[in-house]
Amino acid sequence: MKTLAIAGTALLALFSTIAPSAVSAGEAVPLELHHQIHGEGAPLVLLHGAFMTIETNWATSLGELARSNKVIAVELQGHGRTADRDEGLSYETMADDVAGLLDKLGVAKASVMGYSMGGNVALQLALRHPARVDRIVAVSAAASDKGLAPGHKEMVQHLTADLFTGAPMVAEYQKLAPKPDFPALVEKVKQLELTPFDWTADLARIAQPVLLVAGDADVVTLGHLAEMHAALGGHANGDVNGPSRSQLMVLSDTTHMGILADPAKAQQVAVAANAFLGTPAPK
């Protein structure tokens, strides 16, 4: 329980330091996703992490990303200014929502950058709508719940809305949500986190270049990152075969939440993302 308390305190600390297609039968109708457009250039969709908004996730990096891209920053189901639906959260449905937004905006193809939950959605967008995705930057994302650090699910099982009492992000949620119900959002995120999933083998179907980014003390284990990198076409002998189509960037002395909480590291990731997005793909 001491470990849970420390993890819960770290979670609250993060949110206290960051500024505030056609639908087939059986598929959810895409939501009207709140979005903002910044900058000019090739389209880049930004997908935030759980409990976050455009501002709280991207405040320290959006300006840098918009220097080289037409940024389409999105708020996903039940987050920020986007309405919720009766069904729970799923990476697949949120990916379909993003594809629906691209349809609405008339964007045939875009690169996608997501953090944590948003990074998982980015991977699902590439798996479910491959023709719509140019490149992917997946920050602190996992292709399997088996790749999460020991103790993470135990912490999530004890997650309640009360743990967020006094956090600025709760006041932000109450101000922005069309029909605010923060305890319901906590429960949906909790169930999403506790639902088993494994797309590691499916990653081989992603032909687009992918940049995986994580901290060396992330919730996503380094072993799983290496497994994802290999499945995405990495781990080639570059001296013989040339650069891999996918890349891996690990930040030293960095936790899952530290990637955002430290403005210098968030800026470092944004600069690396711009370089990756602007480099021709290996032949």
For the chain, how long is the longest CA-to-CA vector?
Answer: 56
In this prediction, residue 282 has a pLDDT band, given cuts at 50, 70 and 90, of low
Residue spans of the domains in the chain: they are 2-278
Q: Measuring CA to CA, how many Å separate 237 from each of 82, 108, 249?
A: 44, 34, 17
- For 65-97, what is each residue's pLDDT tens digit? 999 999 999 999 999 999 999 999 999 999 999
Tokens 């109708």 sit at which residue?
A: 29
In this prediction, residue 242 has a pLDDT band, given cuts at 50, 70 and 90, of confident
- For 160-186, what is each residue's pLDDT tens digit? 999 999 998 899 999 999 999 999 999
What fold does the segment set 2-278 form as a domain? Rossmann fold (3.40.50)
Under 8 Å between Cβ of 18 and 266: no
pLDDT at 24 over 70: no
Q: What is the mean pLDDT of the chain?
A: 90
pLDDT at 135 over 50: yes
Structure tokens at 167: 């956090």
Under 8 Å between Cβ of 69 and 39: yes
